[in-house]
Amino acid sequence: MARGKPVTPHLPPVILYFCSHLRGRLWLQVVVGLVLGVVVGLLLSPDVDFVAHAPAEQIAAWLALPGRLFIAAIKFVVVPLIAAAVILGVAAGGTIAQLRKLGAGIVIYFLMTTSAAVALGSAMSYLIQPGEFVERPDATTEASGQRNIWDSGEPKKPTTVPQAIVGFIPENPYETLVAGDMLDIVIAAVIFGIALTALPIRNRRPILDLLESTQTASMVIVMWVMRFAPLAVFGLLAQTTARVGISAITGVAAYVMTVFFGLLGLFAMYLLLIAIFGRLSPILFIRDIREVILMAFSTSSSAATMPLTLRTAEEKLGVSPQVARFVVPLGTTINMDGTALYQAAAAIFLAQVYGVDIGVQGILVVLLTSIGASIGTPGTPGVGVVVLATILASVGIPEAGIALILGVDRIIDMVRTVINVTGDLTASVMMGRFLSHRFPQRKR
């Protein structure tokens, strides 16, 4: 038999052209995985009834396996990466005065954007009145427990304010690393990083070298894992679509649209900030961050997306490493504008459904608790809805209402996670500009 000539399959030229276009374009491969995942998921969903329920669940679970492995692998590097990135960002980031400026600037910025988000979320619910479109359910219905692909655990028990303030200081930094509590890791890393700045360079250097190697090795693992992103996205989307189907959305479509419009408004606000203060073209910004957007959408986890967010901020958006390594991990942990908007919108929607008049005081409580809750919400899938229960309880809305929105929560979670990570990237560009005279930015 003649050898040497590669056998070209007889595929239509359009498909061949498309396949050649996919090569080297990870974001496009992820989009293809996403679309195919939704199509396969729909075929497995109860709406289409193509496959019986039990085998469909099994198939979906197997399809999602690469995605679960993908998230597990990223999760594997998140703790060392956050710890190393924040310590390096702080310790290599200049003088204490500069750090103070960066720290104060970013906290004020986060509070302002989160407040804008909750205001927008509640305004949308008041404007559209999605509660009018839903029949009032039985308030005693139990909210069914939701299992997540990255189990989020229970929210912490409420404590008094002094206890909460003391609780901000992690008791044991090693235990903090083992427990993997993001906020504690960031706080411990900031304290340690500031302490390092007080050391003479001779004593500081070895530990900075060690941390730099830790960070680089973590990013190498992320690069390996990212190659499997299209397959992971395909499986995760297939499973989510197979579970949710289309019929779950129709009952609460007005609520879903209300939250989506709000999130879209927030996205527009980021683009405006990027154009006016960041002096970047919004189109270029979207192009630069498209892989992060796709990753956040598919994993529903800003923590799992964090390594990619960090790399994008530094390499594509040209934010100086000192700023990006401080703002991105901190933002991933405490800046969740999408979650805050959704929590406020959902609380007011459920008040409308149950006919609870929460009054002006109630609205203020919802706004403030949504801001606080989004800060304390870890960047993992589905946690926002668990924390929402606390907000509902604080204004007397039946917590059972959560059962009403649980069916569509995964879809909303995907979109709010996109907004959460876009908010972090916007923040790092803004802070980079604000402090560009101190931390020079890279040319894009």
Chain residues binding ligand ASP by CB under 6 A are 300-302, 336, 339, 377, 379-384, 413, 416-417, 420
Pick the closer one to ligand ASP by CB: 88 or 415.
415
CB-neighbour burial class of residue 142 (10 A; exposed 0-12, middle 13-18, buried 19+): exposed
Q: CB neighbours of 99 closer than 8 A, spacing ≥ 6?
A: 90, 93, 194, 197
Pick the closer one to ligand ASP by CB: 300 or 322.
300
Instruction: Please report, for residues 123, 141, 344, the alpha-carbon distance to residue 134 in angstroms, rounded to integers and kept in the order given.
Output: 19, 16, 18
Closest approach, Cβ 414 to ligand ASP, in A, equals 8
Closest approach, Cβ 385 to ligand ASP, in A, equals 7
CB-based contact 81:305 (threshold 8 Å)? no
Instruction: Please report, for residues 291, 302, 422, the alpha-carbon distance to residue 264 in angstroms, rounded to integers and kept in the order given.
Output: 18, 18, 12
Pick the closer one to ligand ASP by CB: 29 or 300.
300
Closest approach, Cβ 116 to ligand ASP, in A, equals 17
Closest approach, Cβ 376 to ligand ASP, in A, equals 11
CB-neighbour burial class of residue 229 (10 A; exposed 0-12, middle 13-18, buried 19+): buried
Pick the closer one to ligand ASP by CB: 104 or 264.
264
Q: CB neighbours of 271 closer than 8 A, spacing ≥ 6?
A: 282, 285, 286
CA dist., res. 346 & res. 224, Å (int): 38
Pick the closer one to ligand ASP by CB: 102 or 303.
303
Closest approach, Cβ 216 to ligand ASP, in A, equals 25
- Over its C-alpha atoms, the chain yields an Rg (Å, rounded) of 23
Nearest to 18 by CA among 8, 29, 27, 9: 29
Closest approach, Cβ 311 to ligand ASP, in A, equals 18
Pick the closer one to ligand ASP by CB: 189 or 412.
412
Pick the closer one to ligand ASP by CB: 170 or 382.
382
Closest approach, Cβ 386 to ligand ASP, in A, equals 8
Question: CB nearest ligand ASP: which residue?
Answer: 384
